[in-house]
Structure 1
């Protein structure tokens, strides 16, 4: 099957065919973007389509999925008069990462690698393991030693080989990238491969459909590597470019105060992270504890272009938010509570949607 779009480097603009490309730009080691133009989606035609993210076929760079698990079309429920929550923890592997993982698994299935490697703090790894199992691909998942035991169990259950790496999330990524440089290996990277963003952007397409062709005033989004935020920004750009929305929402990007390199750079007026490693501390929000996201420049630019800002939340605020959501009937992991914590401590005018990205069964209740 032909893959039509080419990769384009997000830093130096080198163009490379997807079918023969290494996992990052060979000239500058930057992450890839995708030369792909989304077509307009007609809301009137959606009613009879599959109840998954693949219903937005005009906007997706791959069609005819062979490894779908029915991901997408998660509920939108009100929390207050102005704040709604999108329940993306109701996915096959209990996190929003399924949106991007199905795209990467479908791409890998078509490319036919010898094996697949992924790196993750947990949720992306469980999604990679599940969708590679569905696609019949051999998979190894690299995780930090501190990863939640329940997430490790989930990865093993799907038959992936687990590689526990001493050190932090960055050390894990470096180990996986070294393995990805071997011949015949597909790097199942939710950070470097742009097909992942073209999966996560369906989060916003679903909001647009469910809200009758509009978007809320603010999209509040957790940011570690920025895969959901960049997907959201991509969807907003496509919807606006195709004349399907009149007004673009502001992006409120949320980080844990303990690990907040992007928030610090944003409020300092910087366009990128500084060369020196930022200070960080342990956090309950393990899913966004990323000290040096490769797409930092893109994330900062997207938030500024939207008229949005960054907010940080403390460990006590994460605990409080997780318990408050549980008291409302929604048990999510600590990382998934970050946006609700930010919404209650940094309220924005108008309507807001927060994503509840991962199920509480993955980590338990924060102590």
Structure 2
């Protein structure tokens, strides 16, 4: 296996250990891993899932033990210049399956090596359902911590996969703190979509698929929702790898979208800050999946957006409501968090060709109230 490294402290740890964060600063791990170039010509004969990009994956295998056929989601046009990647068509109905497949594969290998007794995760819903499903596929015992107020449909899905739920009184941050405390128990593998970098190497396949489907090119702009930043950081990884191997000749701008009600990264970016000076207040928003007041990878997210020549945009709940109705009238039923990027692009059109992800299915949360069909233009 590869090794973990803390980008702040340069502390290292073997990736077959259960140490979930840097022991010095308690920050998230990065992965010491060098990808190989992926040959587009070879892809036609490969498995039709994200595991087809095996040269780029740290847990590469010709026959992964844990897969539900995730990845390879459709890319469909919304306008002449904007396309949507339908990641809500994943097995558990959200893009989080990309990272969950990697974490469950890792957990299974760790159990085979001895020492792992159970998997735990914390989530506002989608990551928890994905981890629960892939642990079920792998035959792993799983506990998922969720905040009170999580969508009942998401709770039902987690339970259906056999995971044990721990509902935490308080908000998303309180839930994360409770899970991190439990993660220090012997035998626990913290399948964190924030702290474990294998998750980011799963989400980067989003961009590898765009590269493949666009004939070896990337769009001018990638618009990505950002709470903890797992899709954006995965996208940045993929862009760096594709460019570094000479497989693309330019890098797209990364445009990050936050909910206006909880937008600490957007505020820091526009203030010229390199990291968060203080957590944001936790206000309610329809975009609950990206309402993260204090993302642990804030510095990395801000650096990635600036390096790409991109920016941060924010959207209001009213814009989210209208965008959700608009997509539904186009045949695409997406949960409120998942429409944030489309809401942002409608308000602030981007240069050149642009791709937005539709990250979670509307069946998970239902239709946001407050906008009539007649008000959607």
| TM-score above 0.5 | yes
Match of 1:13 in 2: 10
Match of 1:305 in 2: 307
Match of 2:181 in 1: 178
Check conservation: 2:18, 2:187, Cα contact below 8 A: no
Rounded to whole Å, the distance in 1 between the matches of 2:283 and 2:3 is 39
Match of 1:270 in 2: 273
Check conservation: 1:260, 1:280, Cα contact below 8 A: no
Q: Secondary structure at the match of 2:145?
A: strand
Q: Secondary structure at the match of 1:19?
A: coil
Return the match for 1:47 from 40, 44, 49: 44
Check conservation: 1:89, 1:359, Cα contact below 8 A: yes
**Unmatched runs of 5 consecutive residues or more in structure 1:** none
Match of 2:65 in 1: 66
Rounded to whole Å, the distance in 1 between the matches of 2:247 and 2:173 is 39
Match of 1:162 in 2: 165
Matches within 5 A, 1:271-350: 271-274=274-277, 276-350=278-352
Is 1:360 matched with 2:354?
Answer: no
Rounded to whole Å, the distance in 1 between the matches of 2:319 and 2:348 is 11
Rounded to whole Å, the distance in 1 between the matches of 2:328 and 2:263 is 26
Check conservation: 2:153, 2:365, Cα contact below 8 A: yes
Rounded to whole Å, the distance in 1 between the matches of 2:209 and 2:31 is 22
Rounded to whole Å, the distance in 1 between the matches of 2:361 and 2:176 is 24
Deviation string 1:303-324 (CA, Å, 9 cap, x unpaired) is 0000000000000000000000
Match of 1:98 in 2: 97
Matches within 5 A, 1:204-223: 204-223=207-226
Q: CA deviation at 1:21?
A: 4.6
Check conservation: 1:144, 1:169, Cα contact below 8 A: yes
Rounded to whole Å, the distance in 1 between the matches of 2:325 and 2:279 is 33
Rounded to whole Å, the distance in 2 between the matches of 1:33 and 1:207 is 24
Q: CA deviation at 1:349?
A: 1.2
Matches within 5 A, 1:214-233: 214-233=217-236
**Unmatched runs of 5 consecutive residues or more in structure 2:** 370-377
Q: Secondary structure at the match of 1:20?
A: coil
Rounded to whole Å, the distance in 1 between the matches of 2:161 and 2:281 is 36
Check conservation: 1:225, 1:293, Cα contact below 8 A: yes
Check conservation: 2:107, 2:189, Cα contact below 8 A: yes
Q: CA deviation at 1:279?
A: 2.7
Is 1:124 matched with 2:127?
Answer: yes
Rounded to whole Å, the distance in 2 between the matches of 1:247 and 1:181 is 43
Deviation string 1:152-200 (CA, Å, 9 cap, x unpaired) is 0000000000000011100000000010000110001000000000000
Rounded to whole Å, the distance in 2 between the matches of 1:196 and 1:349 is 30
Check conservation: 1:218, 1:353, Cα contact below 8 A: yes
Q: CA deviation at 1:204?
A: 0.0
Check conservation: 2:18, 2:189, Cα contact below 8 A: no
Match of 2:33 in 1: 36
Rounded to whole Å, the distance in 2 between the matches of 1:72 and 1:336 is 17
The size of the alignment, in residue pairs, is 363
Q: CA deviation at 1:20?
A: 2.1
Deviation string 1:288-313 (CA, Å, 9 cap, x unpaired) is 01000000000000000000000000
Match of 2:82 in 1: 83
TM-score, normalised to structure 2, is 0.95
Q: CA deviation at 1:278?
A: 1.9
Rounded to whole Å, the distance in 1 between the matches of 2:268 and 2:60 is 38
Check conservation: 1:11, 1:31, Cα contact below 8 A: no
Q: CA deviation at 1:18?
A: 1.0
Rounded to whole Å, the distance in 2 between the matches of 1:129 and 1:290 is 22
